[in-house]
């Protein structure tokens, strides 16, 4: 085989300029099976576990091997998972159950079911106050639970429908407001809204990631945009280009990269946050429906979930926008890495 060093050099240069030199790719598929839809997933980096909300249960998977370790069961319709830094306790937002479910991370047994607002969706643990924040999509408020007593200590009204939250670790909590195209900042100690920041050019923000070192939030939006905001000032820093129908975001602090999982375009967008203009440096082909993701910051691995879909039924007057059904036992984890 002949060698063409000049051509190889040009190819490598082209890859570096275009960003495909990032070389993220789907390296594995882990079949989980089961039935029904899914929502958020969360990496417990230290324990090498993935928590995956899947219909009425939360699947627990070894993030190194893909082995299914068990599940938290007996729920109604799960959305999100948050973890207590104690290493022992976890929290699930059970949307149809209108509850925060407290579970033991060793046995995966339920310890308490705490009534929340209507359809809790995003959920996070706030470390300075040791409270759990469940964001209720239909009642448009927050249920704040004390983790020592598992009692609701506040219900905070919001100006619209909340989506994904993040905590900065220093007493502030942020959440996307989907129907107002904005971010709300809350003070954890007082459980009050302290700022509302409009997201110009960002329609229906959903997933949110955080860069603690540079005080930035990354909100993924419809219309193929990711909004980058300075969370000390609320200033919009830019809009990055992403794929269609995103629902989750991630940030890798080691490499300064932000990610958007795009279920509509079946892609994962990779954004270089260290460069001016926040360029998209790679678009990774994933799979249809892979709209949520989580990142293991210790390894740089990204995990997405999806399933196979049956053909979309014909539209009717009663159901003008039908959705395809999920093929039973096709639910899987996609592993993305360099």
Where does the pLDDT of residue 4 fall: very low under 50, low under 70, confident under 90, or very high at 90 and above? very low
Rounded Cα distance between 164 and 122, Å, is 5
Rounded Cα distance between 241 and 239, Å, is 7
Q: Which of 3-12, 49-58, 109-118 has the lowest mean pLDDT?
A: 3-12
Encoded tokens for 235: 């200033």
Cβ-proximal residues to 258 (8 Å cutoff; 6+ apart), any chain: 209, 211, 218, 226, 228, 240, 249, 250, 251, 252, 270, 271, 273, 278
At residue 228, the pLDDT reads 98
Contact 98, 115 (CB under 8 A): yes
C-beta neighbour count of 85 within 10 angstroms: 11
Kindly tell me if the per-residue pLDDT of 123 is higher than 90: yes
What would the mean pLDDT of 182-193 be, rounded to a whole number? 98
Radius of gyration, CA atoms only, the chain? 20
Tens-place pLDDT, residues 135-146: 999 999 999 999
C-beta neighbour count of 325 within 10 angstroms: 12
Contact 273, 216 (CB under 8 A): yes
Question: Does residue 13 or residue 280 have the better pLDDT?
Answer: 280
Tens-place pLDDT, residues 54-101: 999 999 999 999 999 999 999 999 999 999 999 999 999 999 999 999
200 φψ region: left (φ > 0), alpha (ψ -120 to 50), beta (else)? beta
At residue 22, the pLDDT reads 82
At residue 321, the pLDDT reads 87
Domain ranges across the chain:
39-198, 201-309+332-336
Contact 238, 231 (CB under 8 A): no
For the stretch 211-216, contacts whose Cβ atoms lie closer than 8 Å and that sit 24 or more positions apart, written own/partner, are: 211/251, 211/253, 211/258, 211/273, 212/168, 212/169, 212/253, 213/253, 214/273, 215/168, 216/273
CATH tag for 39-198 (out of 3.40.50.2300, 3.90.226.10, 3.90.1150.10, 2.130.10.10): 2.130.10.10
39-198 and 201-309+332-336 agree in CATH topology:
yes
At residue 12, the pLDDT reads 41
User: What proportion of the chain, given as a percentage, has pLDDT over 90?
Assistant: 90
Kindly state which CATH superfamily the domain 201-309+332-336 is placed in.
YVTN repeat-like/Quinoprotein amine dehydrogenase (2.130.10.10)
Tens-place pLDDT, residues 206-236: 999 999 999 999 999 999 999 999 999 999 9
This model's pTM is above 0.95: no
What would the mean pLDDT of 89-118 be, rounded to a whole number? 98
What would the mean pLDDT of 265-282 be, rounded to a whole number? 98
At residue 21, the pLDDT reads 58
Quote the mean pLDDT of the chain. 94
Rounded Cα distance between 316 and 165, Å, is 36
């Amino acid at each position: 085989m002949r060698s063409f060093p000049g051509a190889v050099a040009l190819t490598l240069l082209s890859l570096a300029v275009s960003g495909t030199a990032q070389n993220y790719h789907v390296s594995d598929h882990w079949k989980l099976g089961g039935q029904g839809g899914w929502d958020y997933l969360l990496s417990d980096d230290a324990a090498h576990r993935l928590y995956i909300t899947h219909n009425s249960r939360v699947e627990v998977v070894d993030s190194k091997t893909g082995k299914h370790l068990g599940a938290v069961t007996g729920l109604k319709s799960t959305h999100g998972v948050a973890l207590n830094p104690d290493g022992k306790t976890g929290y699930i937002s059970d949307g149809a159950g209108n509850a925060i479910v407290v579970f033991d991370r060793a046995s995966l047994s339920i310890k308490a079911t705490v009534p929340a607002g209507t359809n809790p969706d995003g959920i996070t643990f706030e470390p300075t106050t040791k409270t759990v924040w469940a964001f209720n999509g239909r009642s448009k408020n927050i249920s704040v639970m004390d983790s020592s007593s598992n009692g609701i200590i506040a219900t905070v009204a919001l100006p619209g429908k909340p989506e994904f939250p993040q905590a900065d670790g220093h007493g502030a909590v942020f959440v996307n407001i989907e129907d107002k195209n904005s971010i709300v900042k809350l003070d954890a100690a007082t459980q009050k809204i302290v700022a509302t920041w409009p997201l110009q050019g960002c329609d229906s923000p959903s997933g949110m990631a955080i860069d603690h070192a540079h005080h930035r939030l990354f909100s993924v939006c419809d219309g193929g945009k990711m909004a980058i905001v300075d969370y000390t000032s609320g200033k919009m820093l830019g809009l990055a280009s992403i794929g269609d129908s995103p629902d989750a975001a991630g940030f890798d602090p080691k490499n300064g990269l932000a990610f958007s999982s795009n279920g509509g375009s079946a892609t994962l967008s990779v954004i270089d946050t260290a460069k001016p203009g926040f360029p998209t440096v790679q678009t990774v082909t994933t799979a249809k429906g892979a709209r949520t993701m989580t990142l293991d910051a210790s390894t740089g691995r990204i995990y997405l979930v999806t399933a196979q879909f049956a053909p979309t039924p014909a539209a009717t007057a009663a159901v003008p926008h039908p959705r395809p059904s999920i093929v039973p036992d096709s639910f899987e984890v996609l592993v993305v890495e360099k």
